[in-house]
Amino acid sequence: MEAKNIAVLVGSLRAASFNRRVANEMIELAPAGLKLEIVEIGDLPLYNEDLEQDPPAAWKCFRDILRTKDGVLFITPEYNRSVPGLLKNAIDVGSRPYGQSVWNEKPGGVISVTPGGLGAFGANHHLRQSMVFLNVLMMQQPEAYLSNISAYFDAATGTANDKLKEVLRRFLDAFALWVQRHHS
């Protein structure tokens, strides 16, 4: 079985981002059936349809990369019960121009991450709502809401503990099956 290439979009720009740390752990823990790669979204110009006649190079590059991927994983914090603007902008850039969405029929998954206690539940579900419209086949189970995330990383070394690694392994194993079933 050939490994499926999965785009990982991280919805946080913060240098010490727990979201990026979770994404990097997932890259290390990915089963043989998945090859995960972070696709950077921090430098994408804000979506403006007026620019479609001569799209910015960053848009073209992002869209071209996403077209080559077999699926997508979103790792997101929660801002005001939704996803950060940076992630929403990437979703918008990838969905345009109309009829040429890079998201259509891709298998997807989401992990929401927060230092707080609610697991970024609002962001997780708000993202899922957008994915329904974009025809991304989002994995339903297992759900992944990582709350109190700082407790799962060693403060001195920055390494994830075994409990977090096990949660991520289970998620990735299920996601690998999801992608195999739903990749067109």
Cα–Cα dist 179/184, whole Å: 9
Q: What is the pLDDT along the chain (184 residues), one digit of tens a residue?
A: 689 999 999 999 998 899 999 999 999 999 999 999 999 999 999 999 999 999 999 999 999 999 999 999 999 999 989 999 999 999 999 999 999 999 999 999 999 999 988 768 999 999 999 999 999 999 999 999 999 999 999 988 888 999 999 999 999 999 999 999 998 6
pTM score, two decimals?
0.96
Domain limits for position 24: 4-182
Q: Which residues pair with 145 in a beta bridge?
A: 112
Give the largest CA-CA distance in the chain.
50
| Structure-block tokens of residue 146 | 């990582």
Task: Give me the CATH number covering residue 98.
Answer: 3.40.50.360
Q: How many domains does the chain have?
A: 1
